[in-house]
Structure formats: C-alpha cells, structure tokens
Structure 1
Amino acid sequence: MPETFEQDYPLQQLQQLQQVTKSLNSGQFVQVRRMLAKTAPCDTALLLESSPHKVRRLLWQLVDPDVQGDVLEELSEDVRLGIIAQMEPKHIAAATEDMGHDDLGEVLRSLPDTVYKDVVSAMDIQDRERATQALSYQERSAGALMNTDTVTIRPDVTLDVVLRYIRLRGELPEGTDDLYVVDKHNCFLGALSLSTLLTNSPEKIVHDLMDEDCESIPISMDESEVAQLFERHNWISAPVVDDNAQLLGRVTIDDIVDVIREDAEHHLLGLAGLDDEEDTFAPVLKSSKKRSVWLGVNLLTALAAAFVASFFEGTLAILPILAVLNGIVPSMGGVAGSQSLTLVIRGIAVGHINQTNQRFVMIKELAIGALNGILWAVLIASVIALWQWDLMLGAVLAFAMFMNLVVAGVAGACIPIILKRMKIDPALAGSVILTTVTDIVGIFAFLGTATWLLV
C-alpha cells in the first residue's frame, strides 16, 4: 500500500493542478473554490507553490478564510511573503489567530517591520501577548520550535484522577505521547507515558510510575541539535525547560521533520549558492538579483585562475597541446574536492564531526586523495603516452593530477571545518573556495611543471 501511495500521489497532485488551472482559465471560480474547500491545507499550500504568480494570487483569493492560517503555516517563506504582501493587516491577524506558538513566531518573523507593526496592532490583547511570547525566543532555537500545548499533572495524584482530568479536557493535543509531571512551581519532574497510564491500576500514584530520567531540552538549544536528539532517541515529543527547569512547552516530531527537511534543502541548494526558501516561480528580476551575487563571486575566482594561467602564455605558445589538456587536472580536482566537501559538511550537520575527530577526517581524506591520485595519475599518463607518443608529457600530467587530487581531498575536508569555526555557513561558501583552490593548484601544477620539464 505505501508503494502505491508514493507512486500515485505526485500524479494525483499533477492532475489536481491541471484541473485547477483549467478551471481558472475558463472562469469557473466557484468550482475551484469547492475543490480547494475539499483539499487539505498542506495540499493547498503545494498547489500555491506550484503555480505561477498570477494564478497563485487568484487561488489565494478563493481559499476559505477559515483555513488561510493553516495554509500559511505550510508555505515556504518566499511564497508566504508574496501572499502576505497582498493581504490587509487585519486579515493577516485573523489568519494567525489559531496558529500554534511555533508557527505564529515563524510567520511573524518573516514579516517586514512595517507590516508586522500593523498586524500586531490589529490583534486582540490575548493574541498580542501570544505574539510577544513567540518572538521572545531566539530564532532557530528550541524555544522558537516549541508549542505550549502541554498536558501537566502532579506527582501525588492517582492514575484515576489523571484519567478523569483527561476526560474533562475532552481531547489531547495532537502528537501527545507523554503527560508531563510538574511540582507546584511548574518545575519539570518527569513524564508519564499514555501506555503506562492505560495499562496500570487506577489506584497507583503518578510518582511511582513516572519516568524521572526523561530528558528535557533547554530553551536555548539550537534546533539542529534538537533534531539530532530526536533522531538518536526516536522521540515523538520532548519537554522544553528554562534555566530554572520550569516547563515551558514541548517539541513534537512534526516540527523536527520540518527542521530536517529544511536543513537538507539548505545544504543541497547552498552548494549552488541558492536560497533554500527561494520561490521557484519568483519574478525573473528578483531571482536574477539573488543569483547574480554568487555568479559574481564565481567570476572573480575564475579570473584568479585565469590570472595564474597568464603567467604561462609563453609555454602555451610553444606547446599548444597543453591548452587542450589544461582543463583535465582542475576538473578532476574539483570533483574529488566536492566529494570530500559534501561528506564533511554532512558530517558537521548531523554532529558526526567535531573537534575530537577532525584530525582523523583530514588524514583520511589526505590518504584517499593520495590513493586516487596514484590510480588516476597512472591511468592518465598511459592515455597521454599512447595518444601523443610522449612519455614526458604523460608524466607531467600525472604529477599534476596526483598533486591536485591530494590538495582537493585535504581542502574539501579543511574548508568546511575552518568556515564553521569562523561561523560562516560551509554550505554557502565552501564550494566557491574549493573551486578556487583546485583550479589554481591544478593549473599551476600542470603548467608550472610543463614549463620546467618540457620547455
């Protein structure tokens, strides 16, 4: 069954998008409104993200105002900002009214200052206090990630009292697997799982059954570290406490899934110098402006490599074959370096690489670079010797290949570690620096050695 869902879901989504677009083009707005009313908020968000700007604006006007807040929660930041730009502050305030603590903070943080002030002014006192609290925690911290919908109980009551309390509540917050035990000062003492509650005698006391070793999350912990804890312990939810061990809220697995997905997109797109929140259907000028920065940086690195090559104009004039072969060494170094760079960035992101094992990683990548350098140096030397009937030219290219692959391996391991220490995102800056290193080293090693031995 899961396999069928995975195969059919994208097709269903495509068919729905085609049907909506066709209905909009033919002016059947009532039909589109009915279709959106039957669509889950997450699927409506996907439809909006998959639509060009004109269609997106029209679609948003047809979304039921009662579910607009749920849809906004599911949108990427760039798309959300574009939609909010066409909403009045009072409508934004209404859409955020029933949002969770974490989603409210995320939406409000993404607003321009002027819009934010107007939205807060349009809120009632209760929502304004919720907004202030949501924004009081540092961005990308456990506080910004948590919800405040916890169910708390006292340690000195019986399970029967707890069960009656739950019945009086009527329902439990979504994703609840534990009830949190606190004292009269709201200090976190432990957790009582629902399975323990339901499988023990109602006369038993909470204190005797609660898990006192339940690990809590500090309010200031980075969300990536929180995600690592969830992955390591297979948690469904976890309590969040302040410096005085007072219970503030909880983080649930659905929020962690979002963190993991966003981190993966950030590292993947960062290698290409792209923003992980960038709208696929953003206007041409806006997208061009964002991408031109990294293209300009790349142009500077290419000019640096060309500047190095210019020192060997005389050599290239005497041996034109060097110009033909000159791209091989930097290209191989770039690929080898990217492999090391990607592996190390991933290791840093998931917490596998730290100060205790950095040296081992560097030595390992050095050894891999040397081994691959020997292998491919011998191969390229053989190819050039047979192709050009020139053993010395093959030896020069082999030496340059070996040197660049070794440097590429070491650079791929060292660059992200150094950037991390400098508090620079390795996913954004690492590939540009690595390309510069492998291009310059490759060109200098090949043309420099050729000038020395062949001219």
Structure 2
Amino acid sequence: MSTDEAPIALDTLSEALQSDNLKQIRYMLNKGMRPVEVAHLLEKTPPRERRIVWNLLNPEIEGEVLQHLGEDIQAEIVSDLDAAEILAMTESLDVDDLADILQQLPNTVMQEMLQNMDLQNRQRVEAVLSYPDDTAGGLMNTDTVTIRPDITVETALRYLRRHSEIPDSTDSIFVVSRKRNALIGVLPITRLLISDPQMLVREIMKTENDHAIPADLPEREVARIFEQRDLISAPVINEDRQLLGRITIDDVVDVIREDADHSLMSMAGLDEDEDTFAPVLKTSRRRAVWLGINLITAFLASAVIGLFEATIDQVVALAVLMPIVASMGGIAGSQTLTLVIRGQALGHIERHNIGWLFNRELIVSIINGSLWAVVVAAIAVLWFQDMTIGIVIAMAIVINLVAGAMAGSLLPLTLKQAGIDPALAGGVLLTTITDVVGFFAFLGLATFFYG
C-alpha cells in the first residue's frame, strides 16, 4: 500500500472500527501496510481509535512503527509500558532511533532499560546519549564497517562477505588505525569492487578530511554538508579523530523535515511534534501560554491608541483607517523576517553581508511604502473628502513599512545572538513593533495636523 492510499485505509479503518471488525483491521495493519504507513495512519487517528489500532499490531513490528511516530505520540504509547516491554519492542532498532525513544522516557525507566541491555548495546546507546540530540553525535549510528589500511582489496572483499548483515545505506567503508581506531580514510564500495585485488586499501582509499563530521557539530550544519556534498553517509569523529559512528541520509532527511516543521509551527508558538489529535486539556494548556504573550503585546498596542483618544473622538476616520497602517507594516515586516530567518537556516547570512541585506530591505520598504502610500492616500481622500487625512495616512504607511523592514532584518539576528529561536519569538515581537509604531505614527501625525 502506498502513502497515497492512506486516506482510503483510514476510511476502511473507521468503518471496521464502527462494525467491530477487528480481524479485518489486524490483517490490514500487519499484512497490508508498511510500518511507516501504519505510523502515518496512527498520527491521523483520534486517541481512542489510536489505542485500539496500536493494540492490534503484531509485537515484531511495534518498534519499527514507534520510531516513525512524533515525540508526543511516542510518549503517549510508551507511558503505559514498563522497561522490559519497551526493550523487547525496540531491540531491533538502530542505535540512534533507540536513543531518540529513550530520551522520551522518565529517567528511572531509561536507566532501567540501559541496565537490562547487554554490555555492547548499552555502550553504543550511551555513546549516542552522551551528545545533545541536535548534534552529529546525537544523530549518529554506531553501526559501522571498518577495515585497516594495510590489507589487500581481496582481503577486504572477503571480510565484507563474512559480514552477516551490512548496515543499511552503507556506501563506504571507513579505514581506521589499528591502535587508536582513528579515521584515516574513506573507501567507497564502488572503488573497492573495481580495484585490483592485490592492491592495498591505503592505495585506493580517499584520504581527504572533508567527509568527516565532528561529533559536536549542530544537526543543521550536518544537513547542509550532506546537501552540498551529495553524501549518502559520513563518518562522525571526536576531537582526536577517533571514529565514533556514522550519519546516513535517512537521518538527515528527518532533520530537514523536522527543521521545516519547527519553522512552521514555531510561528504559532507550537511544538513541531504537536499531536494533531492531542486531548483538549493538553492542547489548551500549550496554547494558553502563547495566547497570554500575545495578549500582553495587544494591550501595549491598545495603550498607544489610548494616548490619542481625544484625537480619535475628533476625527472618526482615524478609527476606520488605523488597521490599514498596522496591517501594511506587519505584512512588509513579515516578508523581511521570513526571508532573514530562511537565510539564517540556509547559512546565507554572515557578518560581512548583513549590512548589504539591511540596506536592500530599507530601500525596498521606502519604494513600496511610497507606492502604496499614494494609493491608500488617494482612496482615503476620496472616501472622507479630506486631504489632510490622506497626507497623514501616507506618511504613516511609509514610516511603518520602514520600521517593519528594519525590525524584520534585525530581530532574527538579535534573537539568535541572545540564544532565542527567531522562528518562535520573531513574529510576536515584529507584530508588536509594527502595531506600536504604526498606531503611534498615524495618530501622532493626526494630532499634529488636526491639533
């Protein structure tokens, strides 16, 4: 079954649940769908039906399904299980996927699971857990194929044939030193296959260091390296160049997807792993904080309006036109803000080009501000038969568009330097600035002209 057929599967599932046809559901889940499709189906299913579906899965695929679920749903499922059940469910997973799931568990459960693992697996998982989950060390899988530089190609091929199972996405073998397990080079399997069997590995391996990724490198930088160099896998090393593990393209795809989700959801103050069908109270609690922050900024904008209450009472047209000024500035600022945040994510913005970008956005805001100021002023004059109101709103629009461009350019840079996620806080601060500046400019100019 393809992902495109998932809506049909959900309809079939709903009909089967309503008719209590559990046999049909069990067959569909365990025989007709891949684990990733089951995970997608679970994420589209309300909580009550989700629990029923999960209980119908065969134990041997539960771990694979679990690894494809969002963190919220993972936490919901494993919260009802003990350490032994979780360990049995996840024993076939890659180390990096297992580490991700462990981080969703209470510390006591995680420690119990680690104690119940065999020594080798525990050491591998602890190696991944020792790094933050948003770094190369947190992404890596410790399953690697390594060889020594002083063996022949024929010996290396014999060694590969003896491997009971070569890890997925293995496009290269890592060449390491005998004593320190330090990375010396990378040997693509394609090169290994076409080389003279009597040649030594050191003669055909790649020795450039470009593909080695430091364990503490942020995951966003890892994704950029994979994109720029078209990598399928890359070795992860520590500061002594000791090989720790490898990162594969499937891990990087997850990073790119999560980063995109994070940017989108953060604009609304939500978590990228937010469960679409989370319970009412849980959803309300998460959103209440963000609404509270927005309420504070709304009161600030209202306070500015309150300063000019007398002017608004005198010229009623001001109350009608105020939202236009704030909206124009907000949209212009959002365009710049989105562009700069994207530039930061792609690594396009650096210290040497910030000035050029700021000047460009400033000039664009002046041009667009002047253009639309004339349009809005003309409409306002025709509407209210008042030339003064046209002059006031034209000047206010230019001022607010310039303020929006300046805020949109500088806010992401300032927030990033302060260690605050620009995608999360930038929108709220920008709206506050454009509302306050827009109202203050419009009403302040009106007070001056209408005195």
TMscore range, shorter length: over 0.9
Match of 1:248 among 240, 244, 247: 244
Q: Does 1:181 align with 2:181?
A: no
Q: Give yes or no for the alignment of 1:380 onto 2:373.
A: no
2:105 to 102, 111, 120: 111
**Paired amino acid for 2:130:** S
Counterpart in 2 of 1:424?
420
Query: Aligned to 1:165, which of 148, 159, 178?
Result: 159
| Partner residue, 1:267 | 263
Could you tell me whether the CA contact under 8 Å between 2:219 and 2:255 is conserved in 1? yes
Q: Deviations over 1:81-120 (max 9, x none)?
A: 0111122321111122122121111111111224324433
Any idea what the Cα deviations from partners look like across 1:18-76, whole Å, max 9, x if unmatched? 11222222222222222111221111111111111011111111111111111111110
Which amino acid in structure 1 is aligned with residue 303 of structure 2? F
The one-character-per-residue Cα deviations of 1:126-158 (angstroms, maximum 9, x if unpaired) are 443333233112221111101111111111222
Report the counterpart of residue 222 of structure 1 in structure 2: 218
CA contact (8 A) 2:136 2:247 kept: yes
The 8 Å contact of residues 82 and 109 in structure 2, kept in 1 or not, is answered as: no
Question: Is the 8 Å Cα contact of residues 226 and 249 (structure 2) preserved in structure 1?
Answer: yes
1:158-183 Cα distance to aligned partner (Å, 9 max, x none): 21111111111144211011111111
**Contact kept in structure 2, 1:90 and 1:123, CA below 8 Å:** no
TM-score of the aligned structures, taking structure 2 as reference length: 0.96
1:4 alignment partner in structure 2: none
> Which residue of the partner structure matches residue 38 of structure 2?
44
Secondary structure at the residue paired with 2:336? helix
C-alpha displacement at 1:125, in angstroms? 4.3
Tell me what 2:192 maps to.
197
The residue aligned with 1:13 is 6
Give the aligned partner of residue 321 of structure 1. 317
- Give the aligned residue type for 2:428: V
C-alpha spacing 1:29/1:127, structure 2 compared with 1 (3 Å)? farther
Cα distance change, pair 167–72 in 1 and its aligned pair in 2 (3 A):
same
Q: Deviations over 1:267-300 (max 9, x none)?
A: 1110111111110000011001001101010011
- Give % identity: 47
Paired with 1:21 and 1:145, the residues of 2 have a C-alpha distance of 37
User: Larger deviation: 417-426 or 62-71?
Assistant: 62-71
Post-superposition CA distance 1:293-340 (Å, at most 9, x none): 010100110000000000111001111111011110001111111111
Aligned residue runs from structure 1 range 54-203, under 5 A: 54-184=48-178, 185-203=180-198
What is the deviation of 1:201? 1.9
Aligned residue-pair number: 448
The aligned residue for residue 206 of structure 2 is 211
Q: In 1, Cα distance between the equivalents of 2:394 and 2:154?
A: 78
Supply the distance in 1 between the matched residues of 2:399 and 2:437 (Cα, whole angstroms).
8
Q: Could you tell which deviates more after superposition, 442-451 or 32-41?
A: 32-41
Native 8 Å contact 1:104 1:134 kept in 2: no
Task: State the alpha-carbon separation in 2 of the partners of residues 124 and 203 from structure 1.
Answer: 39
Q: CA deviation at 1:214?
A: 4.3
* Residues 317, 384 of structure 2: 8 Å contact kept: no
**What CA distance in whole angstroms lies between the structure 1 residues aligned with 2:25 and 2:242?**
48
The answer to whether the 8 Å contact 2:128/2:139 transfers is no
More moved, 177-186 vs 112-121: 112-121
Q: How far apart are the structure 2 equivalents of 1:152 and 1:44?
A: 35
Q: Does 1:35 align with 2:31?
A: no
TM-score (ref. length: structure 1): 0.95
Q: Distance in 2 between matches of 1:189 and 1:125?
A: 27
Query: Matches of 1:179 and 1:13 in 2, distance apart?
Result: 38
d(CA) in 1 for partners of 2:66 and 2:445?
60
Following TM superposition, by how much is the alpha carbon of 1:405 offset from its aligned partner in structure 2, in angstroms? 0.1
Structure-1 separation of matches of 2:292 and 2:370: 35
CA RMSD of aligned residues (A): 1.5
Contact 2:128 2:140 in 1 (8 A): no
* 2:12 partner amino acid: Q
Q: Distance in 1 between matches of 2:6 and 2:223?
A: 29
Q: Distance in 2 between matches of 1:364 and 1:51?
A: 47
Determine the structure 2 residue equivalent to 1:5: none
Separation in structure 2 between the aligned mates of residue 197 and residue 371 of structure 1, nearest angstrom = 60
For residues 31 and 49 of structure 1, the distance between their equivalents in structure 2, rounded to whole angstroms, comes to 20
How many angstroms does 1:430 deviate by? Answer: 0.5
Q: Which amino acid aligns with 1:372?
A: N
Is the contact made by 2:337 and 2:426 (CA closer than 8 Å) also made in structure 1? yes
Unaligned 5+ runs, structure 2: none
Cα–Cα, structure 1 residues 210 and 127, in superposed 2: closer, same or farther, change >3 Å? closer
Cα distance in structure 2, aligned partners of 1:426 and 1:115:
34
What is the match of residue 282 of structure 1?
A: 278
Q: Counterpart in 1 of 2:18?
A: 25
CA distance in 1, matches of 2:445, 2:113: 66
The residue type equivalent to 1:378 in the other structure is V
SS in 1 for 2:175: strand
**Aligned-residue offset at 1:208:** 1.4
Match of 2:367 in 1: 371
The answer to which of 126-135 and 62-71 deviates more is 126-135
Residue of structure 1 in register with 2:433 after alignment: 437
